[in-house]
Amino acid sequence: MNCRNCNNTLRTDFSFCPDCGSKIIRNRLTPKSLTYDFLERYFNLDNTF
């Protein structure tokens, strides 16, 4: 995994880049993930009434 700001190689347990200090974001919002989250929250059969 590389830093998107400075392209430094990162370990998977880092939360910030040790060189430039930028925050490491692992999960980006995508239309697919937003749709999945919406369907999971509002149409889940396990929801209680």
Q: pTM of the entire structure?
A: 0.50
Number of domains in the chain: 1
d(CA 26, CA 6): 16
Kind and range of the H or E run holding 31 = helix 31-42
Residue 37: domain span: 1-49
What integer pLDDT is reported at residue 31 of this predicted model? 92
pLDDT tens-digit map of 1-45:
889 899 999 998 899 999 999 998 887 789 998 898 888 888 776
